[in-house]
Amino acid sequence: MIERLSRPDLADLLPQRATVDVAALRAEVIAIEARKKNAGKMYARGGIDEETFQDTFEEADRLIAEINEQLKAAAGESPLAVFITSDDTAAIWVV
């Protein structure tokens, strides 16, 4: 069950309340997370300073929060909606 709820196409199971491309939004979150990870590596190697690193993380977190709000709105009141914005399906499942 957790494996199924972890798949990117989970949004296809939910009723769409808005004309939102859920798959594209999920892909954007994944891309932003990858950029955050890359910024961390660059900071660790001295490629960017601490201020740039902090600014990058704050902006990335802000963008992810905005996207997650769009995903929640698109999912509506479905009990599966919480899984769309989660990076850790297993943790959500046990709660």
For 26-74, write each residue's pLDDT tens digit.
Answer: 899 999 999 999 999 999 999 999 999 999 999 999 999 999 888 888 7
pTM metric for this prediction: 0.65
The answer on pLDDT for 18 being more than 60 is no
Long-range CB contact pairs, 63-67, < 8 A, 24+: 63/28, 63/32, 64/29, 64/32, 64/33, 67/25, 67/28, 67/29, 67/32
Query: Which residue, among 3, 67, 2, 72, has the nearest Cα to 32 in the 3D structure?
Result: 67
The answer on pLDDT for 95 being more than 70 is no
Q: What per-residue confidence (pLDDT) applies to 64? A: 95
CA 67 to chain centre: 7
The answer on pLDDT for 80 being more than 90 is no
